[in-house]
Structure 1
Amino acid sequence: MEVVADHVKALDWEAIEASLDAYGFAVIPALLAESQCRALAGLYDRDPLYRSRVVMSRHGFGQGEYKYFAYPLPKLIASLRTTIYPHLVPIANRWNAIMSIDVRYPATHAAFIERCHGAGQLRPTPLILQYQQDDYNCLHQDLYGDHVFPLQVAILLSQPGRDFTGGEFVLTEQRPRMQSRAEVVALQQGDAVIFAVSQRPVQGTRGPYRVNLRHGVSRLRSGRRHTLGVIFHDAL
């Protein structure tokens, strides 16, 4: 997994931070190669790798399904979690300071997971989502417990136009006393989007204030779509 670690280290993290500050998300083109995407999507039917399967329509989440990985995580996913996290910690801590949230995150992912486990959040949260024709994901937030890392990553494992049509990644942002603003994030196979889990700071004329974000996926018109979700906190 050294190749993934080297790739992550070489990313333009200043530009990523600037995009997160401006829009609440940042796109990383070609974070994973096509072969890695195919390999990860191929794990979906290997049930022993997972701790649970969620059929979204049963819970009012939309249509489609997803599976949460069990520990130990596949090496590539574990590497993504541990190598991306340290680059996001300064952003997360700065955001919390601006929003007057009295939580700071440790420098390493291992230390943060130790914090989660100490609070009883023991279940891993990385997951693969599968959508087929007419499936969609309602706007939501991935919180899971008291200890929440405020940024997460989604990586598109399928190729738009070849494997599926429709199924765009969507973000909405609710600012105080304003209508919600929507962003449709165009991704290609292997692209990643880093985005705010629930809140981010915005600078207003009278100082900074918090905005609330949700994310989802629009309706698939055809085909099948797989996505890897990399969430940095574990669940209760």
Structure 2
Amino acid sequence: MSAKSVVRTATSGALTPEARVSEYDWPALGRELDAYGCAVLPKLLAADECRDIAAMYPDDNHFRSHIHMARHGFGKGEYRYFKYPLPHLLGELRSALYPHLAGVANAWSARMGLEQRYPEDHATFLKRCHEAGQTRPTPLLLQYVAGDFNCLHQDLYGDLAFPIQVAILLSEPDSDFTGGEFVLTEQRPRMQSRAEVVPLRQGDAVAFAVHHRPVQGTKGNYRVNLRHGVSRVRSGMRHTLGIIFHDAR
């Protein structure tokens, strides 16, 4: 599906996060998520916003922890989890994106026969997370240099997890870095894994399934397992903003 089919007008950094998020054709994005487990939101952030967020990486004041992937067998590269209060733009984007994805999440739960339902607003969902002992913020900023990669994984930080998350590419491919493609894999029962490589430009976001999603089969819906990662960066430096909607223990 082309970018024109999922967004009505070009996103401008002058728009509020809520206004720019509302510009997208969310029914079309929902169909993309249903069909492929992922959907691209072109130009969610302006180039200057991308640069400003990436520039936060060295500043400890914004973050609660710093992870070196190789130490944990996650791949090679590093990332930092933001602390509360989140930077204003990040917090506003998290709140603005959530309601549009909650409808997809609830439809998926129903199709998979799960009891879990998600409230319409993010504040209510976060309250549920905190009541379940999941109080640490999960939005993160990732940094890769040449030779770095992120192994296929799932971002589950507790019993309560929102089934869709968003990643925003902050760097410009072929200018800031080469390689480093976003990869999503899907394992269907009794079938080999299927890979989806998602091309992104600076400021583009991809919404994708965190863990499971439903697929319509000949005998009804069945559940498939998904993992995501980043292929090897060949040159330069790549920054990504990850927006996870549930908090962690």
Q: TM-score range by the shorter chain?
A: over 0.9
Does 2:78 correspond to 1:65? Answer: yes
Given the alignment, which residue of 47, 51, 55 partners 1:42? 55
Aligned partner of 2:145 in structure 1 is: 132
Query: Cα deviation per residue 1:35-81 (whole Å; 9 max; x = unaligned)?
Result: 10000001101111100000000000000000000000000000011
Q: Which runs of 4+ in 1 moved over 3 A?
A: none
1:9 Cα offset (Å) = 0.9
1:176 Cα offset (Å) = 0.2
Given the alignment, which residue of 140, 156, 160 partners 2:169? 156
- Separation in structure 2 between the aligned mates of residue 146 and residue 77 of structure 1, nearest angstrom: 24
Unaligned runs of 5+ in 2: 1-13
1:10 Cα offset (Å) = 1.4
Does 2:96 correspond to 1:78? Answer: no
Q: Give the TM-score of the pair, scaled to structure 2.
A: 0.94
1:65 partner letter: E
2:55 partner letter: G
1:104 partner letter: R
- Separation in structure 2 between the aligned mates of residue 218 and residue 40 of structure 1, nearest angstrom: 22
Query: Aligned to 1:193, what secondary structure does the other structure show?
Result: strand
User: What is the number of equivalent residue pairs in this alignment?
Assistant: 236
- Separation in structure 2 between the aligned mates of residue 80 and residue 218 of structure 1, nearest angstrom: 26
1:2 Cα offset (Å) = 5.7
1:4 Cα offset (Å) = 1.6
Alignment of 1:182-201 (within 5 A): 182-201=195-214
Aligned partner of 2:110 in structure 1 is: 97
How high is the sequence identity, in percent, across the aligned residues?
A: 65
Does 2:2 correspond to 1:24? Answer: no
1:153 partner letter: V
Does 2:233 correspond to 1:220? Answer: yes
- Separation in structure 2 between the aligned mates of residue 48 and residue 7 of structure 1, nearest angstrom: 28
2:103 partner letter: P
Aligned partner of 2:3 in structure 1 is: none
Query: Cα deviation per residue 1:11-31 (whole Å; 9 max; x = unaligned)?
Result: 100110000000000001101
- The higher-RCO structure (CA 8 Å, 6+ apart) is 1
Given the alignment, which residue of 11, 14, 20 partners 1:7? 20
Does 2:190 correspond to 1:166? Answer: no
- Separation in structure 1 between the aligned mates of residue 142 and residue 193 of structure 2, nearest angstrom: 26
